[in-house]
Amino acid sequence: MANISLSYTETTDETKPAGTRARSLGDDDIREFKRCIRERLAQDHQFYSDETGYANVGTHKKITFSQTQAADPTAYDDVGYLYIKAVSGHKELFWKDDAGNVIQLTTGGLINDSVLAKTGDWMLSSVTTARTGWTNVSATYSNKFMRINATPLTTGGADTHSHTLALAN
């Protein structure tokens, strides 16, 4: 997969303003610099050349991850990280919290099932083959109903039951 290539119309020259340039050109340099910064920030953020009256200026339109991390970042207090890292040749999304816990959020470009459920959870599914890491228990619980109980994942009840009908006069 190729790296993204962003082309910008505004270029910036970090040597300006030079000590030998006329001071009267300074305002042009400042405007050029502002346009350059706005254009680059607008890649992922909402910006307008005239920001008057826009409530969503600076909010995210999207987040572009262009730098694949070779390793998980160092954890700091009160800081979390959302980043991409290569796994089996694919870029996958990760989260690392301030305690140093790392969660892989995607696998093969899809939401990682282990993020959605914990060991022992039962889930209803329309797939005929259990996903990788899951166990299909439909044969064990065939023709059974789900029930709510104080003890999770227990079974009970009877396959049949009867009712007595009393007629009122």
pLDDT above 70: percentage of residues in the chain = 83
In a domain, 40, yes or no: yes
Q: Is 3 inside a domain boundary? A: yes
pTM given for the model: 0.53
Using CA atoms, how far residue 85 sits from 31, 47, 79, 103, in Å, is 37, 29, 18, 12
Residue numbers of the domain that contains 45: 1-62
Query: At CA 97, angle to CA 91 and CA 100, rounded to 5?
Result: 95
For residue 151, is it within any domain?
A: no
The answer to whether residue 71 sits within a structural domain is: no
Number of domains in the chain: 1
Task: Kindly state whether residue 106 falls inside one of the protein's structural domains.
Answer: no
Per-residue pLDDT, 36: 87
Positive or negative CA dihedral for 28, 34, 38, 40? positive
Q: Is residue 140 part of a domain?
A: no
In a domain, 93, yes or no: no
Q: Is the pLDDT of residue 3 over 60?
A: no
**CA 48 to CA 51: how far, in whole Å?**
5
For residue 153, what pLDDT band results from cuts at 50, 70 and 90? low
Residue 146 belongs to some domain of the structure: no
28's CB contacts (< 8 A; 6+ apart) are none
